[in-house]
Structure 1
Amino acid sequence: MASERALSPERCWEVLESAENDVLKHINNLMSDWRCIREMTREQELLLVYFLEALVMLTFLQEPEVVKKMTVSDWLKRTCTEGNDERVMVGVDECNAFFVLSKQEEAWFDVYYQYLRSVMIKRRHRRCSLDEAEKFFMYSSGNPVDNPCEDLKKLHDEYHLPSVTTDMVRSSVHTAVHRLHLTDDEKLSSPAEAPEAEWMNENIAFYLLKMSHPVMVHAAPPELAARVQISRKFESDCHSLWCVTQKKLRERLVLDTFGPRQPSESKVHSWIEKQGWMENVPDAAEVVKNWKPPRSIQAPTDSNSIRRMSRRQCWKGLQLMARVSGSSPAGGLLAER
């Protein structure tokens, strides 16, 4: 593993630069003709998956859990960032995490989703749960990615580079930004005078902003001066990401407050008003629309689970036996005493 002490941000991203040409060759082939996937080896497929995982962890500074828990729904709900059609925002609901992609990066992820993932998921040999089938990142075997840190290490090993972790790149960014903001007298320079690193982007700027101004339910958004001190170029993006994250936190708080029973829109609206929030206020109608019962009270959707459950029962009346074709009043179910 690389030494954290001597690590620069550029060194942290060296593996992405090394792999980019190989990965883009496969992506461009798939974009020109999706049937090229038949010629890809499993190793080449995994290289593309590992590369996208590394982008999320090393360039977008996201936790490995974000890679594990990102879903197809998260990807399909991506939106353009406010005031900038050239940037796309992806939110991972389960982690309350957001990151921003350029149009080029969006195309890379979409090629994986449209062509590669759909082929890999068909190779799965075992029955999977709905949660597993919904995961965005898959291995060539068709199983969900379960160890992003190990995948990141494998990518470094492939290019004979010292392994770099998410924590290491975050630490490196912190150190580099601190050095940029220091004058010869070792005092912080003013935001207007501090140089901006060439490698600064929306995701790094937002990460640094969260460190100094954590996103909390009742916190006030960071002032312009605080955002500019981190990045003049991306202060607006930082503000948008911070506000979206807080709004999601508040939506989750509303859902947790009302528990397993779906609330009415009027009750949600009344509760939100009592909080006194002036900005980043959740929409009551949207909250009710997105409400889902806790997983523990959802009915099993797997037919095998239903069969096992029915066999354990000691019913004295009608018993579910099988589903039959046709549209009978019983909904296509065959029962006997």
Structure 2
Amino acid sequence: MADTNPLKSLIEELNRHHLIVTGAPPPLPTEAGPSTTQPPETGDQGEPSGECEPSDAASVSSGELFQCDRDVTYSNKVRQKMSEKGLYNKHDVSDPLLKNFAEYLQKELFNQSFKQEVENVARYLYYADSKAPSLQFVNDREKLREYLRALSEAKLKKQTQQNYLKSLKRFLNYHTVSTNLRKMDKVLHKECTEFIEYIGSLQREISKHVGKEITQKRHNMLIEEDQLTTKECWAVLDAAKKDFLDVMENLSESSDPLESDQSILLVYYLEALVILKHLQRPGVVVHMTVNEWAKRKKEEQYYAIGVKQHKTAAHQVAIFALSEGEESWFDVYFRLVRPQLLRPTKKRKRDVEDESDAAERFFVSSTGRAIYNPSNDLMRLHSKYKLRSVTSQMARIAFETASKSLNDAERALVAGYLTHSSQTADKHYRMKNREHIVKGCQLLTILVSVSSAESPGEGTSRESLRSREECSSHAAHHAVPSIKEPTISLTRLPSVNDSKTFSKAFETLLQTHPLSLNGKRPEMKKCKAVSKEFQEKLSSHWAKKQFEMRAQHACTYFSRRKPTKEQLQSWTSKQGWKNMAADCEKLLQNWAPSGSEDHIMDSKLTQTLVKSQKWRGLHIRECEGKGRGIITTCRFEAGEVLCDYHGPVVTSSEGHKTHKSTTESETGYMFFYTNKKGQSMCIDAHSDRCVCHPEIQTIGRLLNHSEEKANIKPKYFSMEMDGEERDVILFLATRTLLVGEEVLFDHDFYRGALD
């Protein structure tokens, strides 16, 4: 059919020749052009996020069942003000200036949210000049400040304003670096470059306000009476499970295609499992690929799945573990449901790029497109079952808060499961392993309810899918080995008749006197102003909470090596903590090693002792029938570092040669081990004094052997020393060692054969 609008055809022809048309008449109502378009989907605060796709183009459920009504009347106050100020108006994104930028984002930067970025720029270009998009806006800096003020007046969050600036800055970077602008117009190129620096200064200004917004949001969540519990995060999984299982039960290889509402429910439920039960970001649902699903690995009775890209322009890895039952659900969806969703329809000509993209993605919508906005799907699922909407961020915060009750090692597992890392994907893959992922998954179930007879969202085995016999939770069976934490002996707060009133009074006090390591204890009159009844208890409780923070900080710093009283007092003095003498005594009396054994070398004190070889609490003496040996002169707790095995590091073959050439009395001073590269090495301590510490008699070489009475164990580490990486063998107490005990370890078990 011929185009009935010759003017439109002429403009399109000029655009194809990269010519900018000005003064063109406005498009007809049925055509695309500068308009007040539908705003992007909102974030948790009900405002445009500046990051996600518009749901009418990208949402999994556009026009689908139990979808929330489109907010065309802008009932949200932020949207109303944005619309009133004309801030949703934008230029046609098919303009060459914007279209080329979109292709750059999509094809060169692989930006999944490129459409939203282009629209952000199109809005500002329209605000700067409503006639036609151009780069001339760089000549008017005040216009950009005026635009930011307009966004602030519309109550748009500073973080969203940052997103607008980021898009505009990337737009200018593209035109100054990836186009011929430098040759075509040197003056304009220079102005664009200077404008980029100007945007950077604005970003630095706004970043301070962003930090305040985040702090205020966290503060509001802390003082909110009706805080979200971990069990409430999984409530929608409980509510929707019966309907979900009904759909799954009727599926088979020969079954008819699902009805639209059934396929939507199934997809939504699986999305909710990933986001709410496994606490993965919505980007994991968006970017999970078929290839990543195929590469899932079984660990015990779980299946670990790694998603390499889950945040825009940040190549990180997210790994979560599905139970056998959950894996069976995902497998049924992949084998029986997903192929149905990908079947082309006769009613719509599918976009080739969308079809290709969906073919690679694991999750697809009922229209056969890739999913771009799982947060909206989650909201619709809650709406269907009339439950309080829970977002990914809300669920993650609820579980992070609940994880405070865990020990250091378990908290680290939960943090790892939530992918709290800025490491690159390759490095992060090396740091993670499937065993830790499984344990992290089990801890999430424990946090919801240890007494729960049935875990929400837990699946069934593939064989028992129809009978709905669910796979039992393995969290109790696979208990995470705990690591001994610092024990602080504190006098318990006397019970009061109304503990809730006291808790509220203490929260009120924290608003004006927040707890911090260096904070000053609130004066009594300040406590009295909060509550006359509890003024003394408020003051003492604040002091005790601060001491707990300081004690934890001290234990983390000194880690696996107990400091002396002088060391601790010197360290607390450097921290600026006054009147800590009594607290230091209390801390030393109840001190215990903290943290994981794998992070022992993170301790500054341990590093210093390895370099100086000035180990304390150990004494060399003659032991009857053994010659020289080592005894303790102070108490050592289980897990504490006693000393290291010190000497030059040589290859295993060199160690054997030295062993054969030494006298019989010196043959027991060679420590053979395998380093992290898999090489056989040896610490040669046959000399009484080492070259690097000729004035000190090293301790580790004199530790005697005992197979049955061994009370220490060696552990291999590496650390940077004098600009190069050195191997270190540390000895850790396997139990509490009292004063006067001989320190022993099993030579035969840990040392290599010397034949």
Residue 156 of structure 1 corresponds to which residue in structure 2?
A: 382
Q: What is the CA distance between 1:11 and its match in structure 2? A: 0.3
TM-score, normalising length from structure 2? Answer: 0.26
For residues 331 and 249 of structure 2, what CA distance do their matches in structure 1 show?
12
Q: Is the 8 A contact 1:50 1:151 kept in 2?
A: yes
Q: Is the 8 A contact 1:205 1:234 kept in 2?
A: no
Q: What is the CA distance between 1:36 and its match in structure 2? A: 3.4
Q: Is the 8 A contact 2:403 2:414 kept in 1?
A: no
1:106-255 maps to which residues of 2 (within 5 A)?
Answer: 106-124=327-345, 125=348, 126-129=350-353, 130-178=356-404, 180-181=405-406, 204=414, 206-207=416-417, 211=420, 215=423, 233-234=479-480
1:92-103 maps to which residues of 2 (within 5 A)?
Answer: 92-95=307-310, 96-103=317-324
Deviations 1:269-291 (A, max 9, x none): xxxxxxxx948xxxxxxxxxxxx
- Cα separation, partners in 2 of 1:37 and 1:92, compared to 1, 3 Å: farther
Identity of aligned pairs, percent? 35
**1:148 is aligned with what amino acid?**
P
The answer to whether 1:36 aligns with 2:262 is no
After alignment, is 121-130 or 140-149 more displaced?
121-130
Q: What is the CA distance between 1:37 and its match in structure 2? A: 4.0
SS in 2 for 1:119: helix
For residues 141 and 165 of structure 1, what CA distance do their matches in structure 2 show?
24
**2:352 is aligned with what amino acid?**
C
For residues 338 and 427 of structure 2, what CA distance do their matches in structure 1 show?
39
SS in 1 for 2:244: helix
- Cα separation, partners in 2 of 1:235 and 1:72, compared to 1, 3 Å: farther
The answer to whether 1:51 aligns with 2:51 is no
For residues 333 and 255 of structure 2, what CA distance do their matches in structure 1 show?
13
Q: What is the CA distance between 1:203 and its match in structure 2? A: 8.2
For residues 265 and 250 of structure 2, what CA distance do their matches in structure 1 show?
15
For residues 234 and 384 of structure 2, what CA distance do their matches in structure 1 show?
15
Work out which structure has the larger RCO, using CA pairs closer than 8 Å and 6 or more positions apart in sequence: 1
Q: Is the 8 A contact 1:100 1:203 kept in 2?
A: no
Deviations 1:122-169 (A, max 9, x none): 035404333332111111111111110000001000100111011101
Deviations 1:2-46 (A, max 9, x none): 99641100001100111111111211221xx333343x3201110
Q: Is the 8 A contact 1:61 1:166 kept in 2?
A: yes
After alignment, is 130-139 or 163-172 more displaced?
130-139
For residues 479 and 379 of structure 2, what CA distance do their matches in structure 1 show?
32
For residues 343 and 413 of structure 2, what CA distance do their matches in structure 1 show?
33
**1:119 is aligned with what amino acid?**
Q
SS in 1 for 2:362: coil
**1:233 is aligned with what amino acid?**
A
SS in 2 for 1:122: coil
Q: Name whichever structure is richer in helix by fraction.
A: 1
TM-score, normalising length from structure 1? Answer: 0.54
- Cα separation, partners in 2 of 1:214 and 1:234, compared to 1, 3 Å: farther
**2:268 is aligned with what amino acid?**
Y
Q: Is the 8 A contact 2:263 2:366 kept in 1?
A: yes
Residue 24 of structure 1 corresponds to which residue in structure 2?
A: 245
**1:87 is aligned with what amino acid?**
Y
For residues 324 and 340 of structure 2, what CA distance do their matches in structure 1 show?
24
Q: Which runs of 5+ in 2 are unaligned?
A: 1-43, 46-219, 311-316, 444-477, 483-595, 597-674, 678-755
Residue 299 of structure 1 corresponds to which residue in structure 2?
A: none
Aligned CA RMSD, in angstroms, stands at 3.8
Residue 304 of structure 2 corresponds to which residue in structure 1?
A: 89
The answer to whether 1:80 aligns with 2:298 is yes
Count of residues paired in the alignment: 213
1:265-280 maps to which residues of 2 (within 5 A)?
Answer: 278=676
For residues 34 and 14 of structure 1, what CA distance do their matches in structure 2 show?
31
**2:291 is aligned with what amino acid?**
S
- Cα separation, partners in 2 of 1:41 and 1:22, compared to 1, 3 Å: same
For residues 376 and 386 of structure 2, what CA distance do their matches in structure 1 show?
15
- Cα separation, partners in 2 of 1:50 and 1:234, compared to 1, 3 Å: farther
For residues 395 and 370 of structure 2, what CA distance do their matches in structure 1 show?
25
Deviations 1:234-253 (A, max 9, x none): 479xx9xxxxxxxxxxxxxx
Q: Is the 8 A contact 2:303 2:322 kept in 1?
A: yes
The answer to whether 1:64 aligns with 2:64 is no
For residues 127 and 106 of structure 1, what CA distance do their matches in structure 2 show?
31
**1:120 is aligned with what amino acid?**
L
Q: Is the 8 A contact 2:358 2:364 kept in 1?
A: no
**1:128 is aligned with what amino acid?**
V
SS in 1 for 2:320: strand
Deviations 1:59-117 (A, max 9, x none): 11111111111111111111112xx1x11111113332111111110000011110111
For residues 204 and 191 of structure 1, what CA distance do their matches in structure 2 show?
10
- Cα separation, partners in 2 of 1:235 and 1:123, compared to 1, 3 Å: farther
